[in-house]
Amino acid sequence: MAKWNPFLTDEESDFYNTVFEFSKEKIYPSAEHRDEKEIWDPEIWNQIAKAGLAGLPIPSEYGGQNATCFQCCLATEAFASGSIDGGLGLSWSAHMIIGTMPILLQGNEAQKNKYLPRLASGEWIAGLALTEASSGSDAASLLTRAEETEGGYILNGSKMYITNGPVGQLFIVMARTGNKSRGPMGVSAFLVESSFPGFKVSKLLRKLGHHTSMTAELVFEDMFVPKENLLGPLGSGFLRIGKATLEWERTVLIAGVVGAMEYALESSLNYAKQREQFGKSISNFYAIQEKIVKIWLFMNSARLLIYYAAKEKDKGGSLPLLSSVCKLYASEVSESAANDTIQIFGGYGFMREYQVERFYRDIKLATIGGGTSEIQRSIIFSAFSSSKEITNLFPNLQFASKNLDLLKKMNLEENYFQYLLDALHELHAQSKSLKHQSLEFACSDIITYAFVIDTNLASIKEETNWYSLDQKILDLQLLMPILFYRYVLSFQNLQSYSPHLSNYIKLCMNQHLDYKIIESCFQFLESRL
């Protein structure tokens, strides 16, 4: 079974451990050197390809592994935990998801037969070229143009921050084919090979983190693209291909931060046990225990949210709300976990020796790439307010609101979860009144909070491997006040719009972090070492 992941079946654990051991053995030993020298190592990539990871989601008929979205999340998480190489993990997952999924989702049979076998084998590396220097968060305002000509299109423009730009052979390039006004309409997608005349890697970009992933500005100068390389219907690039791909990105790529938190958790536990100050191990100090427990709670709550989204994605649904909740929550709590990890290690955390500083540098991209936290909040609010029915969004909150035994066991008032549910309905009804962005963002925080609590409540319906039901309940008792105070200003900003939210706030203000539960949880984690 997976050492720090209690939510998997035996078969899932075997898969997780296989990827973990591969990355620990093949990737981790050279990660520090490659990061320091900013090296892309083709031999490392070849090992990833030989392990079958390059073509993970590609159907077996094209040489891939036919993995589900959930399995891709497991692999991404395990890879990050074993290697703590965010850069290489980014290059691999960008190839696997945003460079490959558009062909799977929208490609015709000729395009699939031509490109997918090369991508599955790792012979070719793929990427997505969407962002431009003047269109980051407002990605639909791109300026790169494709003019129709005999037998194809002539592309002119440039793309910025392109992962795998200097090392890739195939890119999904978004270009404007419709009217010249900036916006999502009239954007088409093209399959562009780096060998096409007019394709140029203009500038290799140096970054704060992810040094083992190569990022570049790409330029297209009168580049001819054959007509058969138009991906999907003309004008569908952003509205159909881009949005569907980003849902996969915000679910699968973000799973890597959970793996990084897992590395941070075990490293912090080991360091705290070995490091002595004032005549005893620092693991005896409450301040250290609290930080380590928070890493554990953030890791598992993000993990449960991602797994839920991935499994829903595997059912075939479109999930802009849920995928953005995953991206927002996992990226922001992993940033907190990275900060606490450095603090636990103290001066050593600031040095390269223990490698946790690489986690600290790499994790920042999670709140920026694939849509910033601000963009995710806008998407969450828009999707929530436009939903016709929200009752089914939080089934486990509804279950818990009627489970008096559970409420008693958690020392909660009988109407604790019911107030939150009622508040969500009131906010949905009032959403058109929340016209200022600060109110929209506050509402998004509360929606995110509710999803996190809901998915954690789902996990306490049954015991899971070595993670007992009692321990899950204790952890949830800790998580709820931590999250409430994380979002407390958002709750307060909206209480005038929802009477039930005011009641919920009053109940939450009576909660506190019980140091005895913190100590008990820490002892549980120590026992896993």
| Helical spans, DSSP H, in 146-254 | 243-248
CB atoms within 10 A of CB 507: 16
Residue 318: its H or E element:
none
CA distance 179 to 363: 38
Q: Which one, of 290, 289, 299, lies nearest residue 264 by Cα?
A: 299
In this structure, are residues 97 and 310 in contact, taking their beta carbons and an 8 Å threshold? Answer: no
CA distance 522 to 156: 57
| Helical spans, DSSP H, in 354-415 | 356-362, 373-386, 395-401, 404-409
Task: Find the catalytic residue in 217, 249, 262, 335.
Answer: 249
Read off the DSSP letter of residue 136. S
CA distance 430 to 178: 37
How would you label 125-144 residue by residue, b for 16+ Cβ within 10 Å and e otherwise?
bbbbbbbbeebbeebbbbeb
* Greatest Cα pair distance in the chain: 79
Contacts of 279 (CB under 8 A, 6+ apart): none
- Determine the Cα angle at 56 with ends 169 and 249, to 5°: 75
> CA 95: distance to chain centroid?
15
Name beta bridge partners: 191. Answer: 172
Catalytic (active site) residue 249: yes
CA distance 97 to 483: 31
CA distance 392 to 402: 15
CA distance 211 to 204: 12
Token pair belonging to 274:
């070995």
In this structure, are residues 442 and 385 in contact, taking their beta carbons and an 8 Å threshold? Answer: no
In this structure, are residues 77 and 257 in contact, taking their beta carbons and an 8 Å threshold? Answer: no
What is the DSSP code string of 414-469? TTHHHHHHHHHHHHHHTGGG--SHHHHHHHHHHHHHHHHHHHHHHHTTS-BTTB-H
Which residues are part of the catalytic machinery?
A: 249
